[in-house]
Every structure is written in C-alpha cells, then in structure tokens.
Chains A and B, each alone.
Chain A
Amino acid sequence: MNKHVSPKMNRRAFVIGTAAVGAGLAIGLDIPFGGPTVVRAADGSPEIGAWVVVRPDDTVVIRIARSEMGQGSLTGLAQLVAEELECDWSKVTTEYPTPGQSVARKRVWGDFSTGGSRGIRSSQDYVRKGGATARVMLIEAAANEWKVPASECSVARGVITHKASGRTTTYGKVAEAAAKLTPPADVKLKDPKDWTIVGKGLLRLDTADKTTGAMVYGIDVKLPGMLNAAIKDCPVFGGKLKSYDEAKVTGMKGVKKVVKVGDTAVAVVADTWWHAKTALEALPIVWDEGDNAKVSSESIAKWLAEGLDNDQPAYVGNKNGDAKTAIASAVKKVEAVYSYPYQNHATMEPMNATALYTADRCEVWCGTQNGEAAFAAVLEASGLPAEKCDVHKVMPGGGFGRRGQTDYVRQAVMVAKQMPGTPVKLLWSREEDMAHGRYHPITQCKMTGAFDANNNLVALHYRLSGQSILFSLRPEALQNGMDPAAFQGVAQSGEAAFGYSVPNLLVEHAMRNPHVPPGFWRGVNVNHNAIYMECFMDELAHAAGQDPLEFRRKLMGNHPKHLAVLNAVAEKIGWSTPAPQGVYRGIAQVMGYGSYVAGAAEISVTEGNKIKVHRIVASTDPGYIVNPAQVERQIAGSFVYGLSALFYGGCTVKDGKIEQSNFDTYNSMRINEMPKVESVMVPSGGFWGGVGEPTIGVAAPAVLNAYFAATGKRIRSVPLRDQNITFA
C-alpha cells in the first residue's frame, strides 16, 4: 500500500484526498498559465489523460477503475490501454483511483462496478481510447520539441522516433510537455489484427505479492490505533436485535465497547479480533426473530412448487407459437421438474471492512467489487457528503458477486461512527458469512416437451418458479414487475439468448420471493437455467431415441455461434468415437454474458453413487480474447465453482435461518476431485463477451448428463450430497 506522499508541486498545486494509507492515489492539480490543467499523481508525475500517468523513468502507471478479485481483469484492462499506448509492457504498473476522486472529477473513470462479467467488455472501448489519447499527446510533445510534424514520428515500446532525423526520445522525457497539450478530440483504435499486447497470455501484474504474504487484503489492513470488531446479525433474515447483556463481557480481556449496529446486529469492539470474537460468543443476545422464523426449506419448496401450476400468474420471458396448445395435442409428451437451491458465495476471505470516522470525514478500506457502491454506502451510513468520504479498495479474497453488495461496508461505518477518531476493522467470522450471504436464488422449473410422430420437438414449455434477484436488489430494473434477468440463457435475444429453435415455445417465470436475501452469484441465473434446460434437452433426446448432440444440432440451425462452441467441444472430446471402457460422456451449451460456451465431461461411476470426473472439455466464444491464459483460468475456475455447488453446495433453511455454518457443512472441491480442464477458445470477433461467469452454466449439466449416460438415473435436484452421490 502506498503511503501518501506529498508531491513536489508549484504553489498553485493542491491535493485532493487525504488518505493516510491507501491503495488509491493523491491527485494534485497543476494549472499552468495559458494551458490546460495538468493533473498529477501522488508522486508528482503528470497524467496524460485520466487513464495514464508517465513517470520520468518511463514507468507507465495505468489507472484501473474496475476491481481485481482474482479474475484477471486488472491485467487485461492494462493490456488494452498499453496496446493503444504503444508503451513498454515491462514498465507497466497499475493503480486504483478512489471512488471519491472519481466523483470529484465528474466520474472521469466511469463505472467501477465489477460484476456480470463486465469488467473488460463494458470498459474496453473507453480505456483503449484512453491509451490512444495518451499516445497521440506524447508523440505530439516529441514532435513539438523537434519542430517536426507529428505524422513523421513513430513509437514502439515507449520510444518515439523521428526517422528522417534519426532522433529518439522516450515517453518519460516528454511526459511533462505532453501533459500540457490539449487531448485530441477523437482517436482511431487499432484493428484487432494489429494487436501485439492484447490477445497474448501475458503473466498477471499482481502475482508476486500473493506468493510472499505481502499482498494486503481487507482483513490485513492496519491503521495506527486500530481496534477490531466482531459482529452478529439476527440469524433470521428480517428479524431484529431485542437486547444484549453487555455487563457479561465488559470485563473480558481486550474488550473496549459493545455497540448496537442498526436495528438488527450487535458488535463487540476489542483490541484484537480474537478477543472481540471470544467476547461476542459469550455475549447473551436476545433476538426478535419475527414471522420469518416459521420459514423452512420445506415451506419454501412447497410455495415454489405451487408456482409451477399453470393456473398461477407468471411473467412471459420468451414466446413463439402456441406451446400450450401444441403440447395438448402432441403425439408424445415428456415432463420433468427440476430444482436448484440457495448457494453461498463462500469467498475465501470473509466479509470485512475497516472504517475511520471523525466528525467531518469518513474513510473505508475494503475489498469491493463496486467501489462506487461502497462509496455510496459510506455516504449513507456516515451521513457525510461526498467530498468528506472516500473508499480505498484493497485486494478482495474472492468476490463471485458477493462483494458487489455493501452490507458489510455499511456495518463497518455504523460501528466506527460509535468510536469517532478510532479506526475499526470489522471482520465477519466464517459462521457469520455463511449465515448472512446474499444467496444464489432458489428456483424450481417444470419443463414439458412435445414431439410429433417423427420425433421432432414441436413444443417446449419452460416454467420457472422462484426468486428474483432484481426484485430484492434492484427493483427499479424490473419491467412491469417482471425480472428480465430471470431468463438468462433462455431469453429471446440479447446477451443470454436461447440457442434452440422450437416452433412452439413458452418460457415463463412465476416469481416467488422467500425472505432469504438473494444475490448475484457467479453465473447468476445462467446456472440454474442451463442446468434445467441442458439436462432436459438430454431427457428429450433420449425420449426421441436420438444422440444428445445430434438432437441439439437439429434445433440449432439458426444459432450458428451457439452451435460452433458445441461442435468445438464435441470434436475435442471425441464425441463421434466411443469413450474409454467404463467412461461416459455428457454435453451442454449455453449463452450468457454475451459469450457462447459449451462443455463436455467424461466420468465414471462406481457403486452407483461415486463419481470420478476424468476429463472436462470447455469451449468459449467471447468475441475477442484479451488474455487467453486468464480466460483459460476463468474457464477452469468456473468448473471448480460450479461443480463444488453441484456436489457439495446448497444452503437450507430451518426456523428462518441458514443451516450451514462453515466449510464442514458447505464443502468445496479439492485438487484430488478436479481433472484438468481442456479449453478450446474459438473467438469469432466482432463482439465483446464476458468470461468470468458464462462457463459455470455448463459445468453441472455436462456432469449430470454424463451421470445419466453412466447409470440411467436422472438427477433433477442439487446438491448431489443430498442424494448420497459423492466424488469417488
């Protein structure tokens, strides 16, 4: 973490931001007579546009607004800027602007939100322009110095050359002059075929400190005089804190204060977190659990099952022909009901944030997927205006969607507000993290397929019943009450479009929102929609007596990009040739987050319930690939996350509370259970799709379809541990 350094600046310079410690940068404004404003980084080096700082030693600092949380976007975004900047990649470093600085500069760095696999695809255009703008200014500065036209100058790896005169200079030498130039109004971006940095599997920029223990995560933040807090929120969502007996813990070692946090939680503040947690466990607490204490997994399942009834109201998300009539008159019908449970994100690092509150300033240090949302939470919880608040992003120990929420940030500020002048680090125990997730939404799905006399699929009715994430987290995004995101992967069109043509199709959602708070969980609605659809597609193929791959292909003629990735995995896994003795295959495809993905698995099953996954092949077409090595890791990681959820996951509700409390009851795959993932990348160009999430959709159905091939048994609910199916 960078100590705040006062840059050497002229008397007109001033510094915005007073972070004592932080991953952010202090910004100085330098206003020369008669020229545009020069903005300076903390060390005094000039900005060449908001995205690039060039130091005198030729180091290029690239600003990254989106959050790195392991997915590699920080490196990918830097590659995009560096590509257009034509700088020396070995001299590239990165830094996060703070949300406070961005807001103070009219959001010059755009959206900070890092979810929905948007980190790169939603900012690639403007960050590339940021790099190109800086390149034009730096070349112009050199040309001005040499009194030659800029068009006669070229640049490679940060060295500017005027060929006619043989003169050269470097970005570091002309940065001061370049910073004073007016940025070009428009810049032309490179043709992707000319990329030399983008498209390469370059090593990540943030690895070294992760191997030595030096990387600072939220849990590692240290501030002078800092205290530590442990918290318990009412275990029944929607319940309240009634009372607690502070006297029982005030004398305990290290305890400084017991504080109420909003209406629902209590925290113990102590010298160390271990003391805080020990005292919190000893603290007698009485909860007002409310009516939600009557809710159980059984009552939720019953309520959702009622939503599968066609008489119940539902939102229509995709429609073609008249599915109900076609089904009623069909020669053959196949019907199945599937379900998918709540899932906790279970990031390796539990939620935490460190806050320092004084009467006129509030600052927070935390891992977050959305710096601006965290900033807004700080404003709201502190009651202070934007210019008196800031958020310093540190590395999150995993995000997967959980750290897009700001509940833990809000709590940290509410605790710190009761300890003015003292920095307080609030850390959730794993148990608190399991009890207060923002869970993968719970759903059930009834699917009915109908065939004509020639075993052609003539109708499909996909009826989803269950929870809407947007209803809970972003109600303004509902469309006349409907949650469009509920149809991810089975939508009519767009970035998560259905990949099959069925003459009579009805896709609908009976929205039912239990009290357990849902959240965006890696893959979000693609997860369950892909499991339901791809397993049922397998059921339909078997009912029609056809090969599951061939059956799909017949329905995909109008969906060439969906088909291309499916064909790519089929070829790689050798679908047309028999699997090894005792090994069985399953296949699946889906579109999500603007990318087309497919997966295939080879498994064997012993004793009817012990699965060994021998091989996984996965294909993706995200349009363009910025860093294939990182894409490969996201694909493999999606299988680990998706199969962990399939085999071991699932959060159940009893007396209104989540029953699972730690990794002993909510397990995660280990290295011995995970085969090598063979990635096939087929970027077809012309569009920008996401990478972190789509592949998770095919992980579970590929394995479940292989399980059917091996055993003849159809698994229609998750997790497998509930059905006594485990890894071999």
Chain B
Amino acid sequence: MANLTINEKNFTLDVEPDTPLLWAIRENAGLTGTKYGCGIAQCGACTVHIDGVATRSCGVSVAEAEGKKITTIEGLASGATLHKVQEAWIAKDVPQCGYCQSGMIMAVAALLSEKPKPTDADIDEAITNICRCGTFQQVREAIHTIASA
C-alpha cells in the first residue's frame, strides 16, 4: 500500500513500494496521460512534476514519491483553464502523434516556472525529451511565444 498525492488528490494504492511511480500513476491511479516510452529514464515520455521538479516517473519508486506533491498532465490545468503551455501547444499546433507531448509539456512547464523567459540555450539544456515525430521546431517556437507574451 502506498499513499500518494497526485494532482492535489490523495490516493491509497495497492502497490509494492518498489513499483515505479509511472505504473502506479497509470495502472493504479488510472491516470493514463503519463506515458511509458522506455522505462529507463531516457525518453522523458513519463515526465511528471514532483514537488514542482520535472521528473521521469519511470525512474522513481512509489516509496520515494510518498509524501510528495505529484502533478501529472491531467493536473496541469486549473480546472477548465488550461495551463499556458497547453494553450500555446494548441495555438502553435505542436503535437504530431502526441505520445511524447504529455512529458514534453510537463518538462516545458517546469522550465518556464523556473525561467519565464528561457533562451535557446536554456531550452537546449532543459528539454531533453525524445520526440520521434520531430516536433522540436514547434516546441521551441511555442516556448518563445509563451515567454514573449
């Protein structure tokens, strides 16, 4: 059993403590917006915020996540109001297949909360998610659009 706080809700989940947070989120909490891509913290598809820090949830155990504030893509918006990254992603038509974009959006949201006006170098350093469709150009443009708003 584990007690997790996800998107400001408390979940008591029937999982072993060494279960990767990714799978507890997807299968036990039922929040499937967070994606599985590699399971070895390489691709970033499973990125969530843990206490505000962009973290690859496949590399964190449930035990390590207990007592912390976890935010997934489903918890990024404030009620019906989308987060500015989500809005920019829609306005700039960023996603292609979209599978990596939950993680991409979470990584970008964390970057912008730390650096509201990131340079290209900041983006290059902070955004290390894999996108096989190749949406990087739109990702960069959308970040700059948000930063200049």
Interface of A toward B, CB cutoff 8 Å? 69-72, 203-204, 206-217, 219-220, 222, 228, 253, 272-274, 346-350, 395-400, 427, 429-430, 629, 633, 636-641, 644, 662-664, 668-672, 674, 676-677
Contacting residues, chain A, for B89 (C-beta < 8 A): 207, 210-211
CA distance A220 to B134 in the complex (A): 23
CA A347 to CA B131, docked complex, whole Å: 9
Closest residue of B by beta carbon distance from A675: B137
List B contacts of A222 (CB < 8 A). 30, 32
Beta-carbon contact of A671 and B132 below 8 Å: no
Please give the distance in Å from A431's CB to the nearest CB on chain B: 8
CA distance A676 to B105 in the complex (A): 20
Q: Which of A70, A272, A399, A676 contacts B28 (CB 8 A)?
A: A272
Q: Bound state CA distance, A341 and B16, in angstroms?
A: 42
* Complexed CA–CA distance, A629 and B140 (Å): 16
Number of interchain pairs (Cβ within 8 Å):
179
Between-chain CB contacts (< 8 Å), 24 pairs: A70-B95, A70-B97, A212-B74, A213-B32, A213-B34, A213-B72, A213-B102, A217-B35, A219-B36, A272-B23, A273-B27, A348-B35, A348-B37, A348-B43, A348-B130, A349-B36, A397-B100, A398-B132, A427-B36, A430-B40, A633-B133, A638-B134, A641-B134, A671-B123
Is A662 a contact partner of B132 (Cβ separation < 8 A)? Answer: no
CB-based contact A272/B27 at 8 Å? yes
Q: Is B139 an interface residue (CB 8 A)?
A: yes
| Nearest-neighbor residue (CB-CB) of A676 within chain B | B137
Most chain B CB inside 10 Å of its own CB: which residue of A70, A211, A430, A674: A211
A211-B90, A430-B39, A663-B42 given; A72·B96 CB < 8 A: yes
Main secondary structure of the interface of A (DSSP, over half): loop
Given A212-B73, A676-B140, 17 more contacts at CB 8 Å?
A: A70-B133, A208-B90, A220-B32, A228-B27, A273-B23, A348-B133, A427-B36, A429-B39, A633-B133, A637-B133, A637-B134, A640-B134, A662-B42, A663-B43, A664-B42, A668-B130, A671-B127
Give per-residue flags for B96-113: 1 if the beta carbon is below 8 A from chain A beta carbons, else 0.
Answer: 111111100100000000
Q: Are B93 and A400 in contact (CB under 8 A)?
A: no
Known: A211-B90, A633-B96, A668-B130. A430 touches B37 (CB 8 A): yes
- What CA separation (Å) do A71 and B99 show in the bound complex? 13
Contact in complex: B35, A662 (CB < 8 Å): no
Q: Which residues from chain A contact B131 at a C-beta distance below 8 Å?
A: 348, 640
Q: Contacts of A674 on B, CB cut-off 8 Å?
A: 134, 136-137
CB distance from B127 to the nearest CB of A (A): 5
The smallest beta-carbon distance between A182 and chain B, in angstroms, is 40
| Contact pick for A211, options B39, B105, B130, CB 8 Å | B105
B129 interface contact, C-beta 8 A = yes
Asked whether A671 lies within 8 Å of B40 as measured between CB atoms, the reply is: no
CB-based nearest B residue for A640: B134
Cβ-defined contact, B140 with A662, below 8 A: no
* A663-B35 in contact given A348-B100, A641-B134, A670-B128 (Cβ < 8 Å): no
- Does B135 have its Cβ within 8 Å of any Cβ on chain A? yes
Q: Is the CB of A253 within 8 A of B36?
A: no
Q: Chain B 34-74, CB within 8 Å of chain A: the 1/0 string?
A: 11111110110100000000000000000000000000111
B40 and A71 contacting across the interface, CB-CB below 8 Å: no
Partner of B74, one of A207, A213, A672: A213
B5 proximal to A (CB < 8 A): no
Distance from A727 Cβ to chain B, minimum over Cβ atoms (Å): 11
Closest chain B residue, CB of each to CB of A636: B137
Known pairs A207-B89, A349-B99; A663 contacts B31 (CB<8 A): no
Instruction: Let me know if A672 and B23 touch, CB within 8 A.
Output: no
Who on chain B is nearest to A208 by CB? B90
Verify if B147 is at the interface (C-beta below 8 Å from A).
Answer: no
Contact residues in B for A430 (Cβ distance below 8 Å): 37-40
Number of interface residues of B (CB under 8 A): 57
Contact (Cβ within 8 A) A641 B101: no
Q: Is B19 part of the contact surface with A, judged by Cβ < 8 Å?
A: yes
- B132 in contact with A210 (CB, 8 Å): no
Closest to B27 in A: A272
Query: Which residues does chain A contribute within 8 Å of B86, judged by CB atoms?
Result: 211-212
- Chain A residues with Cβ below 8 Å from B100 are 348, 397
Using A348-B100, A396-B97, A397-B99 as known contacts, say yes or no to A639 and B134 having CB atoms under 8 A apart. yes
Inter-chain CA distance A638–B23, complex, in Å, is: 32
Whether B134 lies near A253 (C-beta < 8 A) is: no
- Complex formed: what's the CA distance from A203 to B89 in Å? 11
| Known contacts A210-B101, A348-B99: A629-B93 contact under CB 8 Å | yes
Would A213 and B37 count as touching, CB distance under 8 A?
no
A215 to B95: give the CA distance in the assembly, Å: 12
Chain A nearest CB: distance from B46 CB in Å?
A: 11
Cβ-based interface call for B3 (8 A): no
Instruction: Collect the chain B residues with CB atoms within 8 Å of residue A637's CB.
Output: 96, 133-135
Are A219 and B35 neighbours in the complex by a CB distance under 8 Å?
Answer: yes
Residues of chain B within 8 A of A633, CB atoms compared: 93, 96, 133-135, 137-138
* A290 CB, nearest partner CB in chain B, Å: 29
Cα–Cα, bound, A396→B35 (Å)? 12
Give which listed residue, B19, B97, B125, contacts A348 with CB less than 8 A: B97
Contacts of A253 in B (CB 8 A): 16
A212: chain B residues at CB < 8 Å are 33, 73-74, 76-77, 82, 86
Determine the residue in chain B with the shortest Cβ distance to A350: B36
B87's nearest neighbour on chain A, judged by CB, is A211
List 3 A-B pairs, minimum CB-CB distance, nearest first. Answer: A213-B33, A640-B134, A397-B99
Please report the C-alpha to C-alpha distance between residue A134 and residue B38 in the assembled complex, in whole angstroms.
46
A569 to chain B, nearest CB (A): 17
Residues on B with C-beta less than 8 A from A427 are 36
Shortest Cβ distance from B73 into A: residue: A213
The chain B residue sitting closest to A349, CB to CB, is B99
